[in-house]
Amino acid sequence: MPDGQKIAGRVFVTRDLAPPVIQRLRDEFSEVDVWEPYGPPAPRELAERTTGCVALLTMVSDRVDAALLDAAPTLKVVANMAVGYNNVDIAAAAARGVVITNTPNVLEETTADMAFALMLAVARRVVESDADTRAGNWGLWHPGLWLGNDVHGATLGIVGLGTIGSAVARRAGGFDMRIKYTARNRQSETEAAVGAEYVPDLRDLLGQSDFVSLHVPLTDATRDLIGVPEFRAMKSTAYLINTSRGDVVNTDALLAALQDGAIAGAGIDVTAPEPIPPDHPLLKQSNLVITPHLGSATHATRIRMAMLAAENAIAACTGAPVPNAVTG
C-alpha cells in the first residue's frame, strides 16, 4: 500500500515472525518494530517498545496487564498469536478500549495431533526406549522389555469438548477408543458427531478413563482443576495428557501422583510455572513425557496463526470488522 494510505502508527511484534507475515504488516503499517532476539522481551522491554504503538502482536508468554496498557495509551489492539488469551488482562483492556484478538480455527487439528502424540509416547514408552536404544542397549532385547499399555480400545476421558477436544475425539474414533467427556455445558450435537458419552461429574469421568485429556481454557474456574482429589479419583493405570494450560493441573499434585504411582504416567505440553525450571523434580520422572508448549508448533499452523494475528491487528486499526475479537 502507498505510504499515504498506510495505517499511521507503529506495530510492535514480540517475535521475529516469518517474512511473509512481517511483509504483510509492513504493507499496512507506517512502522513495524520487530523484537529480534530469540527469547522474549522482559516486561520492561515490552513496555518500552509498546509505548507509542497503535498495535501490539504478542505471544502467550507475553504478559499484557494494566501496567503495560497504561504505558501505551495510543494502543488500539493487542493481537495475541494463540487461541488462549489468559496472558492478557481482558478487563483492563476493555476498560481502556483496547481490542484483544486471538487465533481460533487454525490450530485445533495441530494441537489435537500433539495430544495424541503425547498419549502414544507415554503409553508406549517411546521417549524412554529411544534414550535406551541410543545408549546402546538394543542388544539386551527381551520379551518383557519396555512394556506399555494399549491406546487402541482404551477409554478416553476428554475434559472440555470444544474445538480441540472434539478434534481429539475424532482421532480417538480411529483408534477404536471408547470416548467419554465432561464439560461445563453438555455438547449434544458435538457428542453425537464424535460418538462421545457425556459424564456430568469430572471425578466420575476420571474414574472411568484410561487416558484423560484436558482441553479447557485457563480461567478462575479451571485453575487447579486437577489436584490431589482428582488424581486419587483416577485409575492407577491411567495417564493424564495436558495440552491446555499448565495451571489447570496442580503441579505438586501431579508430581506426587507420578512419584507414588497414583497414575501410570503423564504427557504434558504445558506446565506451571512455564518454562519449567531445569532442576524441577518433575523432570526426573521417567513416567512423564514433557514438551515445551508445542501444541500448535508446525510450519503450516504457525504461519496461519501469525497471519491471522496480523490480519486482526490490521482490521482493528483500519476500522474493518475484526475477525477474532475476544470479550472474555
Cα 151 to chain center, whole Å?
A: 22
Task: List the beta bridge partners of residue 213.
Answer: 158, 241
- Per annotation, catalytic residue among 10, 49, 293, 302: 293
By the rule CB under 6 A, 249 interacts with ligand GLV = no
By the rule CB under 6 A, 82 interacts with ligand GLV = yes
- Half-sphere exposure for 89 (CA within 13 Å, toward CB): 14
In the chain the beta strands, taken as DSSP E runs, fall at 7-13, 29-34, 53-58, 77-80, 99-101, 155-159, 178-182, 196-198, 211-214, 239-242, 265-268, 288-290
**Nearer to ligand GLV (CB atom), residue 17 or residue 234:** 17
By the rule CB under 6 A, 83 interacts with ligand GLV = yes
Q: d(Cα 133, Cα 265) in Å, to the nearest integer?
A: 21
- Per annotation, catalytic residue among 15, 125, 215, 245: 245
- Where in 119-148 is the site for ligand GLV (CB under 6 A)? none
Q: Which H or E run contains 163?
A: helix 163-174
Q: Starting from the edge strand earliest in sequence, which strands make up the sheet with 99-101, in order? A: 29-34, 7-13, 53-58, 77-80, 99-101
By the rule CB under 6 A, 84 interacts with ligand GLV = yes
Q: Which three cell numbers stand for residue 52?
A: 507509542
Q: Is 304 a catalytic residue?
A: no
Choose the stretch contacting ligand GLV; rule: CB under 6 A; options: 39-47, 69-77, 80-88, 307-315. Answer: 80-88
Nearest distance, CB of residue 19 and ligand GLV, angstroms = 22
* Residue 215 one-letter amino acid: H
Question: How many of the chain's residues bind ligand GLV (CB under 6 A)?
Answer: 7
Residue 38 exposed, middle or buried by CB count within 10 Å (0-12, 13-18, 19+): exposed
**Nearer to ligand GLV (CB atom), residue 84 or residue 157:** 84
By the rule CB under 6 A, 78 interacts with ligand GLV = no
Nearest distance, CB of residue 115 and ligand GLV, angstroms = 12
Sign of CA dihedral 95, 100, 105, 107: negative
- Half-sphere exposure for 153 (CA within 13 Å, toward CB): 2
**Nearer to ligand GLV (CB atom), residue 28 or residue 62:** 62
Q: Is 245 a catalytic residue?
A: yes
By the rule CB under 6 A, 114 interacts with ligand GLV = no
Angle of CA points 104, 43, 110, to nearest 5°: 25
Q: Which of 17, 56, 60, 194 binds ligand GLV (CB under 6 A)?
A: 60
**Nearer to ligand GLV (CB atom), residue 33 or residue 65:** 65
**Nearer to ligand GLV (CB atom), residue 24 or residue 215:** 215
- Where in 257-316 is the site for ligand GLV (CB under 6 A)? 295-296
Nearest distance, CB of residue 83 and ligand GLV, angstroms = 4
**Nearer to ligand GLV (CB atom), residue 192 or residue 221:** 221
Q: Is 26 a catalytic residue?
A: no
Q: Which of 93, 107, 121, 258 binds ligand GLV (CB under 6 A)?
A: 107
SS3 content of the chain, % helix, strand, coil (to 5): 40, 20, 40
Choose the stretch contacting ligand GLV; rule: CB under 6 A; options: 77-85, 113-121, 259-267, 318-326. Answer: 77-85
CA distances to 83, 122, 163, 205, 211 from 149, in Å: 32, 9, 27, 19, 11
By the rule CB under 6 A, 41 interacts with ligand GLV = no
Task: List the beta bridge partners of residue 53.
Answer: 10
Question: Which residues would be at the binding site for ligand GLV (CB under 6 A)?
Answer: 60, 82-84, 107, 295-296
Q: Which positions are annotated as active-site residues?
A: 245, 274, 293
